[in-house]
Amino acid sequence: RRFKAQNIQDTVVFFGSARIHSPEQAREALERLERRFNPGTGGAPNPHLERSRKAVEWSQYYEDARVLARLLTEWSTSLDTQHHRFVVTSGGGPGIMEAANRGAADAGGKTIGLNIRLPFEQGANPYITEGLHFEFHYFFMRKFWFAYLAKALVIFTGGFGTLDEMFEILTLMQTEKLAK
């Protein structure tokens, strides 16, 4: 499918970790592990439980991204003109990307997912507006469309992919290769 930029309004791009779960998923996983390992018996701390407790803490970032995307979408749809409507865009995967798309969908807005085809990786999250999920074969093309469409960037905690995307945009800004 061809990517038609003229049909896409200005976007706010969310970058962040694919490995941060929703608070519900994180708590559910912790409860399963606590039942399995029964921490009331004493003994050495279990590294699985410790990681799962950390995942519950980090799930706050998921919720923050969801709320921010919802508030942004509510504000955007309240604007008097259609020419200044901002659409939440993400990499289209799980984690922070899902949270951003989910928050915009919660507010009844459109969401865009610019996914990358990778072996053994996630698919698109279910909160992307139908017809606005685009799958890329090459990182450079995906990053080009992030930069081309974005009016603003929101960067949450993440790993090497998040840092790569952030520094690519910052480099383009510093070298004045972005027109906006």
C-alpha 3: how far from chain center? 20
- Describe the strand order of the beta sheet including 150-155 as a list of residue ranges: 133-136, 111-116, 86-90, 10-15, 150-155
Q: What percent of the chain has pLDDT over 90?
A: 67
Q: Is 112 left (phi over 0), alpha (psi -120 to 50) or beta?
A: beta
**Contact predicate 125/98, CB 8 Å:** yes
Mean pLDDT of the chain: 89
pTM over 0.85: yes
Question: What is the tens place of the pLDDT at every residue in 35-79?
Answer: 888 756 666 778 889 999 999 999 999 999 999 999 999 999 898
